[in-house]
């Protein structure tokens, strides 16, 4: 079974703080993704990575950055947290060359910025 | 520009009956479609998928239908069970690029 873990289930931060969200997968997957989920908006892609040290902007990258120094780990960074970044953050991974295209998700981090 | 749309935010169904969740898309380049199920405070879990070369895929109680001319897909759950109560997201992708485009989700409530 694929396992995707996220460092925190719940997080409360103050406006202006730098926030790190960590994601680790144990299936040697090449692709990793960060989404945020908001009511009525579904899941929106923030950043993704096809391989180590590679990153691509998703649909809503403003205010975020990412880091992928090791294949199994993909970090999302909020440079200066703002209240409109209060959301559920979901990490996902996907292997290549399997003929199947589903992504596997972690349990999510509920971030509140006050 | 919402390329994948789920126009029903919620759906309520009696246990044992059929649940039909709908999804529309606008991009004719999409060639693979997926359905995910999400419980509160958990990550989405993959349910079922369909390639654009097919019009139906079945897995137990779950069947996905694809109508390419109408750019519409639907998920049928028969029979519905209370444990199916969750938010269902449809998603689409193309070119094996890995990016999934998600709909807004439909909250299904199955009443005993």
Digit-coded pLDDT (tens) for B12-27: 999 999 999 999 999 9
| Distance, CA of B90 to CA of B88 (rounded, Å) | 7
CB of A33 closer than 8 Å to CB of A94: yes
Q: How far apart are CA B34 and CA B101, in angstroms?
A: 10
Smallest Cβ–Cβ distance between B104 and the set A31, A41, A108 belongs to: A41
In angstroms and rounded to an integer, the radius of gyration of the C-alpha atoms of chain A is: 13
* pLDDT tens sequence across A70-100: 999 999 999 999 999 999 999 999 987 656 6
Q: Do A31 and B9 touch (CB under 8 A)?
A: no
Asked if B41's CB is within 8 angstroms of A108's CB, the reply is yes
Domains of chain B and any CATH numbers: 4-111 (2.60.40.10)
User: Which of B45, B49, B102 minimises the CB distance to A43?
Assistant: B102
What class, spelled out in words, does domain A4-113 have in CATH? mainly beta
Percent of chain A with pLDDT over 90: 80
**φ, ψ of residue B22 in degrees (nearest 5):** -115, 155
């Amino acid at each position: 079974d694929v396992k995707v873990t996220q460092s925190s289930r719940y997080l409360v931060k103050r406006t202006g703080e730098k926030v790190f969200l960590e994601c680790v997968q144990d299936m040697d997957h090449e692709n990793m993704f960060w989404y945020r989920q908001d009511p009525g908006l579904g899941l929106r892609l923030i950043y993704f990575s096809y391989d180590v040290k590679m990153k691509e902007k998703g649909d809503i990258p403003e205010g975020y950055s990412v880091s992928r120094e090791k294949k199994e780990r993909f970090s999302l960074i909020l440079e200066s947290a703002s209240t409109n970044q209060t959301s559920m953050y979901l990490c996902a991974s996907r292997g290549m060359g399997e003929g199947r295209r589903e992504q596997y998700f972690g349990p999510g981090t509920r971030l509140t910025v006050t | 520009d919402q390329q994948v749309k789920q126009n029903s935010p919620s759906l309520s169904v009696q246990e044992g009956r059929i649940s039909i969740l709908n999804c529309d898309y606008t991009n004719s380049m999409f060639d693979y479609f997926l359905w995910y199920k999400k419980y509160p405070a958990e990550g989405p879990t993959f349910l079922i998928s369909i390639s654009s070369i097919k019009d139906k895929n079945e897995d137990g109680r779950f069947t996905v239908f694809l109508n390419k001319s109408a750019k519409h897909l639907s998920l049928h759950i028969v029979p519905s069970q209370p444990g199916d109560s969750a938010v269902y997201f449809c998603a689409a992708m193309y070119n094996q690029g890995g990016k999934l485009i998600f709909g807004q989700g439909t909250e299904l409530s199955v009443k005993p």
